Structure 1
Amino acid sequence: MSKGPVVILTALNLEYQAVRQKLASPQMHRHERGTRFEVGTVQGTTHRVALGLTSKGNHSAAVIAERAIQEFSPVAVLFVGVAGALWDATGLGDVVVASHVYAYHGGTSEDEGLKARPRVWEAPHGISQLAAHLARLNDWSDSASGHGDAPQVRFGAIAAGEVVQNSRISAEAKWIRQHYNDALAIEMEAAGVAQAGHLNGAPVAIIRGISDRADGTKNSADDRSRQPQAAANAAAFAIRLAVELAAEQEETAVHEVSAMPQDDRLRSSDTVGRPVSNTAHNSTVGIMAGSVTGSSVHLNTAPQESGPVNLIAALKGFRENLGRHHAEGALDKETYREALADLDSALRSAEGNTRDTSMRAAMTLRRLRGLVTECPALLAELVPLIAAAGDRA
């Protein structure tokens, strides 16, 4: 599974700002070709999100989505923003999560009319299941929005084309409703993002807040007032989904490390400076080749203590290993700074040596775990320390 952040992409600045305001300390990240992303953590968590702007249209959305996937190796890509409703049953302000996406402009023109030849991408099963679960919990919307009834989350098809649809009586509007009558919403980017995810093996979710009914009112004053709330609703649900996706990825990484045979765990931790010593006299030593000629080699021959972990000493040792990973480039500056702050906080709590301080140390170390999931060796070293802090509580 990917160790990267969740990528969230939007087409409009309005949508971008709705997501950005939910991130703590976003930092600019520049792709080598000039595309700019911002990477921050979801407020109140350690889960990272990379945010990018694609501009309008399936083509530009596909290019930027693929660039983001290649750059970040994300847990998932979420495309977030506003859309028009195709049917009255979908309320203004509601959030539509795509069960599948139609690229509806595929077709063939024949004497009796335009025949539909769409491309279709289904949403990944795991993301659909998680989104449905969050919708049932119904704890994702901003309580302070103050805009009437709470928005509903609806699941269904989304139609993605190449033109702005702002009529219910035009020939194209009638054609869309005839051939894609199960689509709940219509927009212009989902097909490009879905294709990029398909080609690169990245899970994609399309999340749209309904701002209009594609009925000629798209540029009205009412629509301009509804767009910000629709964008905020979509952003709120997307952020909730992003946090859960990142948490699931973190738990999977921990289970993978815990399930390793002990020898594999030790090997995975060699890069964090686990003490290794060797003595060779008049000899040739080929450790990497697994050969020793004419000498003896001693690797940690001292017996390991089997007693309880000395948590204070272990945390101080982990601090040195954290610095080593940063120096070697395995941890970027911002991640290292946040990880160091969490570690120092856990160390102070552990030195308190009471049940409450030990509990705080364990909670802080769990937050720290989310920052080092990209470093299996650090993760393997941290897991028993979390357990040791919990045992003291």
Structure 2
Amino acid sequence: MPKDLVVILTALNLEYQAVRRKLIGLQMHRHDRGTLFEVGTVRGTSCRVALGLTNKGNHSAAVIAERAIQEFSPVALLFVGVAGALWDTARLGDVVMATHVYAYHGGTSEDDGLKARPRVWETAHGISQLGAYLARVDDWADGVPGTGQAPQVRFGAIAAGEVVQNSRISAEARWIRQHYNDALAIEMEAAGVAQAGHLNGAPVAVIRGISDRADGAKNSANDRDWQPRAAANAAAFATRLAVELTREQEQTAMSQADRSRTAGTPEGHVRNTAHHSTVGVMAGSVTGSTVHMAAAPKASGPAELIAALDGFREDIRRRHAEGDLDEDTFREALAELGFARRAAKDDTPEPARKATMALKRLRGLVAEFPELVAKLAPLVVAAGDLS
């Protein structure tokens, strides 16, 4: 399965169908444990999407998101559907893209009330920036942009819990609005998806169309009218975002290929006129009296790749010792390195796929450290060359 696709997950069949209508050439893909995905292409583009259904709830969403990431190693995972608005900032039909997600059911019950102890996951900076750009361009909606009926994209927090919120006056509704007053929308799956993305080093974006105001009007005729419209708007923005994400991935791959080719040309190296000189190089390789200035020497086989992975492990440990990597990320990074190392030693037919997936997940975990990402790039290529 190509690793240049985007995974889109939904909780409801209505949301699934809204995304599915944007895709062509759909083919069924079955996970080992029976979960079904459909893989197709966004109409009019070359962007490939793996579409899956999680059903309601953070727990179910987390499990299916984990399976999707492991199965496809996607460019990004988008969770798409409808949500209730907590405030009047967002109109019915508008789209909310999460800047961060609250798991608001974390707390402690004390004599003087319930104290909030949420978990929070921020959306990856690159995806947030791209979403903001698409909102400014405003060419994603199915309707006519610029009219009074055109949906707008809002950016802010989304609160995710374990129960359907359908009141403005209940004790829990008042508590949520008091403790999470910056949240624009409320739903039941984003926290699970965000946690799965965090543990796997996969970028996640949550995109919701506003179908109601979480005020007691769910299941009314008005809600039944707005649900499909809100789902369609969320699907339109999400597929537009998916197209741009894969386009960026292609441009990055082309840029890396260009740099690799340049490193092998006369302009990309320095020749030493002395026949037996010793040259110190911080990053690169030396052949005879030619110094090749590359980001890192390419591992040409399993043994070389394993040695390079062991070297990268020391880089990770140093970062952790210096306090740059938190304990959870450090342990997850070591786990992915171990997985890639075992795959490199594997004599089954799929070592390349396993090692590449592990290194791509590792790349997501260390994405905030450009020098580590640069060191990983040739290792990902080397893993893909395993046979």
| Mapped partners of 1:376, 1:160: distance in 2 | 38
| Mapped partners of 1:130, 1:23: distance in 2 | 21
| Mapped partners of 1:124, 1:68: distance in 2 | 18
Could you say what secondary structure the match of 2:209 adopts? strand
> What's the counterpart of residue 89 of structure 2?
89
| CA deviations over 1:177-231 (Å, ceiling 9, x no partner) | 0100000000000000000000000000000000000000011011001000000
| Mapped partners of 1:201, 1:329: distance in 2 | 21
| CA deviations over 1:50-78 (Å, ceiling 9, x no partner) | 00000000000000000000000000000
CA distance 1:159–1:169, change in 2 (3 Å) = same
Q: For 1:126-205, list aligned pairs within 5 A.
A: 126-143=126-143, 149-205=149-205
> What's the counterpart of residue 227 of structure 2?
227
> What's the counterpart of residue 361 of structure 1?
none
Q: Tell me if 1:56 matches 2:56.
A: yes
The total of aligned residue pairs comes to: 277
> What's the counterpart of residue 289 of structure 2?
none
| CA deviations over 1:134-162 (Å, ceiling 9, x no partner) | 00000000027999610010000000000
| Mapped partners of 1:130, 1:262: distance in 2 | 29
> What's the counterpart of residue 73 of structure 2?
73
> What's the counterpart of residue 21 of structure 1?
21
Could you say what secondary structure the match of 1:260 adopts? helix
| Mapped partners of 1:208, 1:124: distance in 2 | 17
Cα shift at 1:3? 3.1
Q: Tell me if 1:44 matches 2:41.
A: no
Could you say what secondary structure the match of 2:69 adopts? helix
Unaligned residue ranges in structure 2 (runs of 5+): 266-299, 303-348, 352-379, 383-387
Cα shift at 1:258? 1.2
| CA deviations over 1:80-116 (Å, ceiling 9, x no partner) | 0000000012100000000000000000000000000
Q: Please say if residues 100 and 121 of structure 1, whose CA atoms lie closer than 8 Å, have aligned partners that are also in contact.
A: yes
Q: Please say if residues 257 and 376 of structure 1, whose CA atoms lie closer than 8 Å, have aligned partners that are also in contact.
A: no
CA distance 1:99–1:288, change in 2 (3 Å) = closer
Q: For 1:100-115, list aligned pairs within 5 A.
A: 100-115=100-115
> What's the counterpart of residue 294 of structure 2?
none
Q: Return the TM-score normalized by structure 2.
A: 0.67
| Mapped partners of 2:123, 2:216: distance in 1 | 30
Q: Which amino acid aligns with 1:189?
A: E
Q: Return the TM-score normalized by structure 1.
A: 0.66
Q: Please say if residues 139 and 145 of structure 2, whose CA atoms lie closer than 8 Å, have aligned partners that are also in contact.
A: no
Q: Which amino acid aligns with 1:107?
A: G
Could you say what secondary structure the match of 2:260 adopts? coil
- Which structure would you say has the larger Rg? 1
Q: For 1:1-393, list aligned pairs within 5 A.
A: 3-143=3-143, 149-261=149-261
CA distance 1:67–1:147, change in 2 (3 Å) = farther
Q: Please say if residues 6 and 49 of structure 1, whose CA atoms lie closer than 8 Å, have aligned partners that are also in contact.
A: yes
- After superposition, the CA RMSD in angstroms is 3.0
| Mapped partners of 1:95, 1:263: distance in 2 | 45
Cα shift at 1:4? 3.2
| Mapped partners of 1:219, 1:132: distance in 2 | 32
> What's the counterpart of residue 279 of structure 2?
none
